[in-house]
DNA sequence: TTGTACGCGTTATCAG
DNA sequence: CTGATAACGCGTACAA
């Protein structure tokens, strides 16, 4: 798979060329480019002129080979493309990450890959392409993440499911507590038969939200059998809702582990001729744009997704500077948002 | 903004170390790693053992510094994050691109940035981080793209708006023809007062679809004044629809330049108590998942978004191999998809 | 403050 | 077929 570019293109200017134009040494140009203070003003000026004249941009490969840094970070998303693009939650997180990165001179490399035949993603990471990695939406099966921390600083979005999570850095909300908030709402408005469409149960967020749901019902002596597992997609939630409705037709309250899934559930409820919140009250999770995109504005458990992305990037950046006092876990607050569905 | 990683991490193994273990020279290891055929089988075997033992992965910076290639491509999207994530069209294109790239050993760097204060994106590109660039959703204001082709091979998704588009490589559909298809449908089902919510008029796709719309109405002597400009977002389309309805309350047919926008229009129509397709028939564009996500399945103009992404990547990859016979323009077919809205 | 010289990990050229 | 050795472009002790 060797390839060679045939088309002739003007070679990028190098430090050497800039030095020649400015009449100084390569080292001096390097100092100016990297903002060293130990350079006389007039030389800084002449070098700057030369840089602009030649339109010089440092070669990243050479720079990172010498400095052993890439000034790039990776956002690893072990999902398939459709799930990644389908859920507004990811958009918010990425937005937060880039907002933080825009204040630095790090760039972000987005790596979306569930099916990764040749371990291409891992190779990419280990080839020294990035200085650190952000990992969101990882599943229990994604074993490679454990190894990654031995290679570079890693920060998770959502508590990691690996055993050694004591050492891991992550940003999350208290998913169980959030789920309690949502479930309690259903109790408070007088629902008697409360069920749940859970998230993917191979993900910490899915597990913890289910735990919070069960804990709340247990506390008041309600049964917790009306649960069907979803996978954090609208289609998966629709299927789960169908199963639940067949099994427990009397459900009148539903805690759904994400807004996107709630939208899916909403559609099925309509199919079955059930009104929301009349026949069935629904509480979602996320408070993403999906919450207000459907036919019924969703009452939901808000989590600060954008801020979480920001915090993730911030944590990683601080680790990269060698800051020893970076907290391993950053837990952000959730709160209940009341709208029409419950 | 100097930073230094303090934490001690095991250094990545190098060619040198592998060579030592295998008892050969660096050069030979390099040959094996790069699959040169001119190496004796037994040496290949011993080197392979050493590589696995040390868990060796080539250093990308060193490799690209020496080979002058990065094996990475960039997908540049001059939009803000929310628009990028909000429209399923992008998801399809990215999916197609990655499908093609999965067959190669190129990786993709996603660059989403409308507001780019420090020209960070351009610097990134010009720093030799990638061998070529894919550009989608570019606006007339995005002048930097013109300069880019002088630095590296570029392929556009959608015809570029720059003057020198004769030289440019791009993949597109005949947007005007597609719009004619959609508009004609409205005529065919007997609508008399046909309007349009156009796409962003600073984008070729927006302009061309509007042109096709107008051309069709002109042909049959219908007025083309019932047009309001959208921006390819649901919210923007909603606002535009509101303006249109105030100005032309008698509209009974609407060609909307994207499915996502059609969803926005649908909401407003409902607000105004208009039924679809009863009072107002709607034809969208894209045939993205958005077309079937709303309350009314949309009749729409299909464009093969996923295949377009694939074709873009394929075109760029072929250019990268020096293939002189790569067609500058790849125009893919559109077709009308009949559903419920028109 | 400025310049010299070496090293970063690979690829590629050229002897052998 | 294999092994020295010279680039590749830049950062940075070290020397001046």
Rounded to an integer, the average pLDDT of A29-35 is 93
Nearest by CB to B57, from A1, A112, A126: name it. Answer: A126
CB B123 within 8 A of CB A60: no
* CB of A69 within 7 Å of some strand D atom: no
pTM: 0.91
Q: Do A90 and B85 touch (CB under 8 A)?
A: yes
Residues 83-122 of B with CB under 8 A from A: 84-86, 88, 90-91, 94-95, 98, 102, 104-105, 107, 109-110, 112-113, 117, 120
Is residue B136 predicted with pLDDT exceeding 50?
Answer: yes
Mean pLDDT, rounded, for B76-85: 89
> What are the pLDDT digits (tens) for A271-319?
999 999 999 999 999 999 999 988 899 999 999 999 999 999 999 999 9
Q: Which residue of chain B comes nearest to A101, CA vs CA?
A: B120
The first and second tokens of residue B163, run together, are 């003057």
User: Nearest CB to B60: which of A82, A127, A150?
Assistant: A127
Above 80 in pLDDT, residue A329? yes
The CA distance from B6 to B91, in Å, is 39
Q: What is the mean pLDDT of residues B200-227?
A: 97
Which residues of chain B does A264 touch, with a Cβ-Cβ cutoff of 8 Å? Answer: none
Nucleotide nearest to A68 (CA to C1'): C8
Q: Is the minimum CB–CB distance between A128 and chain B shorter than 8 Å?
A: yes
Region for B137 from its dihedrals, namely left if φ exceeds 0, alpha if ψ lies in -120 to 50, beta otherwise: left
Q: What are the pLDDT digits (tens) for B240-250?
A: 999 999 999 99
A7-21, A244-258, A298-312, B177-191: the lowest-pLDDT one? A7-21
Region at A136 (left for phi over 0; alpha for psi -120 to 50; beta for the rest) = beta
Q: Report the side by side order of strands in the sheet with A329-332.
A: A107-112, A72-77, A132-136, A154-157, A169-173, A329-332
Chain A contacts of B120, Cβ < 8 Å?
102, 105, 107
Within 7 Å: CB of B45 and strand D? no
At B3, the pLDDT band (50, 70, 90 cuts) reads very low
- What is the model's pLDDT at position B166? 72
pLDDT of B66 reads: 94
Question: What's the rounded Cα separation, in Å, for the pair A325 and A278?
Answer: 51
Any B CB within 8 A of A69 CB: yes
* Residues of A in Cβ contact (< 8 Å) with B324: 6
pLDDT number for residue A149: 87
What is the Cα A217 distance to its own chain's centre? Answer: 30
Residues with Cβ within 8 Å of B230's Cβ and at least 6 positions away in sequence, in order, are B197, B198, B199, B200, B236, B237, B239, B240, B256, B257, B258, B261, B264
Question: Nearest residue of A to residue B263 by CA position?
Answer: A293
The pLDDT tens digits for A158-168 are: 999 876 667 89
Rounded CA–C1' distance between B15 and C1, in angstroms: 39
Protein CA A63 to sugar C1' C8 (Å): 9
Q: Is the per-residue pLDDT at A4 higher than 50?
A: no
Question: In 3-state terms, chain A is what percent helix, strand and coil (to 5)?
Answer: 45, 15, 40
D9 C1': nearest CA residue: A62
Average pLDDT over residues A23-51: 93
Q: Are A68 and B83 in contact (CB under 8 A)?
A: no
Question: Chain A window 254-313: which residues touch B at a Cβ cutoff of 8 Å?
Answer: 289, 295
Mean pLDDT of B106-125: 83
pLDDT of B4 above 60: no
- Give the dihedral sign, CA A305/A310/A316/A318: negative
Place of tokens 């993403």: A288
| Protein CA at A66 to nucleotide C1' at C9, angstroms | 10
Q: Which residues of A touch B264 (CB under 8 A)?
A: none
Q: How close, in Å, is residue A66 to chain B by CA atoms?
A: 9
User: Which residues in chain B have Cβ-Cβ distances shorter than 8 Å to A88?
Assistant: 85-86
Q: Write down the pLDDT at residue A295.
A: 85
- Assign A243 a pLDDT band (cuts: 50, 70, 90): very high
Average pLDDT over all residues of chain A: 92
- Domains of chain A (ranges; CATH) run 15-58 (1.10.260.40), 72-172+305-331 (3.40.50.2300), 175-304 (3.40.50.2300)
| Length reported for chain B | 342
Backbone angles phi, psi at A77, to 5 degrees: -125, 100
Residues near strand C (C-beta below 7 A) are A 24-28, 31, 38-40, 42-43, 62, 65-66; B 11-12, 14-16, 26-27, 30, 33-34, 56, 58-59, 62-63, 65-67
pLDDT given for residue B37 in this prediction: 84
Q: State which residue has its Cα closest to the C1' atom of C1.
A: A39
- CB contacts < 8 A, A to B, total 133
Which chain B positions have a beta carbon within 8 Å of A102's beta carbon?
A: 117, 120
Cross-chain CB nearest to A91 (options B70, B85, B126): B85
Q: Higher model confidence: residue A257 or residue B121? A: A257
pLDDT of residue A8: 65
- The CA distance from B152 to A178, in Å, is 49
Stretch (H or E) spanning B84: helix B81-86
> Could you tell me if B266 and B295 are in contact, meaning their C-beta atoms sit under 8 angstroms apart?
yes
**Chain A interface test: which of B127, B234, B260 (most A C-beta within 10 Å):** B127
Q: Which residue lies nearest D13, CA-to-C1' measured?
A: A27
> What is residue B150's predicted lDDT score, i.e. its pLDDT?
87
Position B140 scores a pLDDT of 86
pLDDT at B290 over 60: yes
- Alpha carbon A161 to chain centroid, angstroms: 15
Residues 29 through 68 of chain B touching chain A, CB cutoff 8 Å:
57-62, 64-65
Specify the pLDDT at position B163. Answer: 60
**Which whole number is the average pLDDT over B227-239?**
96
What are the pLDDT digits (tens) for A37-47? Answer: 889 999 999 99
**Quick check: A85 and B82 CB within 8 A?**
no
Q: Which residues of A touch B69 (CB under 8 A)?
A: 3, 5
Q: CB contact, 8 Å: B25 with chain A? A: no
Taking CB atoms and an 8 Å cutoff, what residues of chain B touch A124? 107
From the CA of B235, how many Å to the nearest CA of chain A? 11
B177 touches strand D (CB under 7 A): no
Find the closest chain B residue to A36 by CA distance. B2
Q: What pLDDT, on the 0 to 100 scale, is given for residue A121?
A: 86
What pLDDT is stored for residue B1 in this prediction? 37
The token pair that represents B213 in the structure block = 């719309």
Residue A131 contacts by C-beta under 8 Å, 6 or more apart in sequence?
A: A69, A70, A71, A72, A73, A106, A152, A153, A320, B5
- Cβ of A66 < 7 Å from strand D? yes
Averaged pLDDT score across all residues of chain B = 92
pLDDT digits (tens, 9 = 90+) for A168-192: 999 999 999 999 999 999 999 999 9
Contacts of A123 in chain B (CB under 8 A): 57
Average pLDDT on B271-289 reads 97
Give the CA radius of gyration of chain A. 25
Among protein residues, the one whose C-alpha sits closest to the C1' atom of C5 is A27
Bridge partners of A253, per DSSP, are A194, A281
Strand partners, B84: none
């Amino acid at each position: 798979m060797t390839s060679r570019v045939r088309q002739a293109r003007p070679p990028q200017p190098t430090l050497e060329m800039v030095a020649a134009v400015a009449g100084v040494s390569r080292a001096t140009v390097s100092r100016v480019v990297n903002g060293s203070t130990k350079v006389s003003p007039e030389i800084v000026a002449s070098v700057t002129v030369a840089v602009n004249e030649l339109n010089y941009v440092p070669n990243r490969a050479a720079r990172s080979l010498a400095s052993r840094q890439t000034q790039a970070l990776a956002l690893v998303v072990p999902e398939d493309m459709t799930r990644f693009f389908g859920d507004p939650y990811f958009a918010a997180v990425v937005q937060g990450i880039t907002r933080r990165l825009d204040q630095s001179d790090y760039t972000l490399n987005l790596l979306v890959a569930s099916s990764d035949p040749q371990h291409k993603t891992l190779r990419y990471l280990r080839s020294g392409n990035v200085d650190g990695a952000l990992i969101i939406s990882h599943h229990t099966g994604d074993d490679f993440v454990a190894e990654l921390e031995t290679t570079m600083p890693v920060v998770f979005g959502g508590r990691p499911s690996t055993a050694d999570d004591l050492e891991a850095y992550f940003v999350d909300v208290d998913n169980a507590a959030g789920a309690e908030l949502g479930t309690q709402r259903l109790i408070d408005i007088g629902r008697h038969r409360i069920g749940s469409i859970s998230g993917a149960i191979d993900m910490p967020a899915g597990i913890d939200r289910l735990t919070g749901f069960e804990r709340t019902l247990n506390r008041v002596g309600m049964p917790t059998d009306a649960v069907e597992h979803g996978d954090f997609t609208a289609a998966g939630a629709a299927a789960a809702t169908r199963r639940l409705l067949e099994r427990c037709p009397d459900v009148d309250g539903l805690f759904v582990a994400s807004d996107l899934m709630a939208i899916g559930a909403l559609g099925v409820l309509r199919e079955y001729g059930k009104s929301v919140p009349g026949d069935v009250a629904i509480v979602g999770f996320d408070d993403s744009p999906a919450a207000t995109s459907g036919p019924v504005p969703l009452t939901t458990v808000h989590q600060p997704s954008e801020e979480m992305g920001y915090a993730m990037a911030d944590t990683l950046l601080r680790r990269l500077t060698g800051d020893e006092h970076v907290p391993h876990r950053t837990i952000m607050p959730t709160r209940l948002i009341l709208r029409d569905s419950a």
